[in-house]
Amino acid sequence: MKKQIIIYIVLGIIFLIAVNGTVFIMDETQQSIVTQFGKPVGEPRTTPGINFKVPFLQKVQFFDKRYLEWDGDRNQVPTRDKKFIFVDTYARWEITNPLQFFIRLKDERSAQSRLDDILDGETRNAIANHDLLEVVRSSNRNPEVTAQFMEELEVLEDISVGREKIEDIVLSKANERTSDLGVRVLDFKFKRMNYVNEVRDRVYDRMISERNRIADQFRSEGQGEARKIQGNKERDLAKIQSEAFREAEEIKGRADAEATAIYASAYNQNRQAVDLYKFLRTMESFEKSLDENTSIILSTDTEFFRYLNRLD
């Protein structure tokens, strides 16, 4: 009885092992091929669910069905116009033919290494065939001018290709080289670009020189405006002083004329009183100057003579 139980247990274990070696399950993110003695057998398995294989003799190689990431190394690359830049790239790829992928590359690690060679090489070729402006710019555009004097400074050269088209070129060339590998590159982008130190220093010097020129232009325009304001101020001041002096002289002239008119009017109105006053004063002088013992000799031009002559 005990021997039978042991036999049943052993048979059950063998059955479980056989079933486990025969059945395998794939989910939605997986695809696979079955190999026998290291060689692929049958068509790739791409449908999720339960699948079968020969136990012990056959093995299953699983591959990812999702989009996979490729991150390139940061490399120093020369452009066509001999400008060295650091280029950092990335891409997305997928396994389109698991059987071809297994035959040519075996696994994802080998695929990543192969993509390094292909994408890095095509990146170098594409950048070496274009100028720096084509690599860093995507399209022709009109710069935003923030000040009138910037209109002549902000002039961008036209490009014929551009960054996005260069990315498309790399993507197209890469897919041509990966067509027999069972993979497809879905997208390729330049993640970052930097100048090398020597080029960056020259760019900074050029930027500093340009900004210094703009600053000098600001100073020159400011000094010119200051001189213009100063000249306008002195001209306006001289004009105000001249008009004030002219108005003051006109007021004085009118006042003098009015005073003269008043004097003349007063003199004409009181002429008889003035003559009487002069006569009385002359008589007072006679009274004080002459007595019974005084003799005088008068000129015909004196007031005394004129009054005495009138009395006769």
Q: pLDDT digit string (tens) for 84-125?
A: 888 999 999 999 999 889 888 888 899 999 999 999 999 999
Distance CA 121, CA 180 (A): 18
Statement to judge: residues 174 and 155 lie in one domain = yes
Q: What is the DSSP string of 222-255?
A: HHHHHHHHHHHHHHHHHHHHHHHHHHHHHHHHHH
**Residue 258 counted as domain residue:** no
Reply yes or no on whether the pLDDT at 27 is more than 80.
yes
Q: Of residues 234 and 273, which shows the higher confidence score?
A: 234
* Tens of pLDDT, residues 182-222: 999 999 999 888 877 776 677 677 778 878 888 888 888 88
Structure tokens at 291: 């007595």
Burial class (CB in 10 A: 0-12, 13-18, 19+), 92: middle
Domain membership of residue 131 as a residue range: 68-195
Same domain, 48 and 76: no
Domain end marker among 41, 64, 87 = 64
Question: How many angstroms separate the CA atoms of 195 and 207, rounded?
Answer: 14
In a domain, 130, yes or no: yes
Model pTM?
Answer: 0.58
Residues 6+ apart with CB under 8 A from 153: 210, 214
Do residue 8 and residue 111 come from a single domain?
Answer: no
- Nearest to residue 153, comparing CAs of 163, 165, 143? 143
* 95: three-class secondary structure by DSSP: strand
Collapsed DSSP state (helix, strand, coil) of residue 45 = strand
Residues 148 and 53 occupy one common structural domain: no
Rounded CA separation 3/132 (Å): 83
- DSSP alpha helix (H) spans, 129-196: 132-136, 163-178
Per the structure, how many domains does the chain have? 3
Reduce the DSSP state of residue 43 to 3 states and report it: strand
pLDDT at 127: 92
Together in a domain, 49 and 74: no
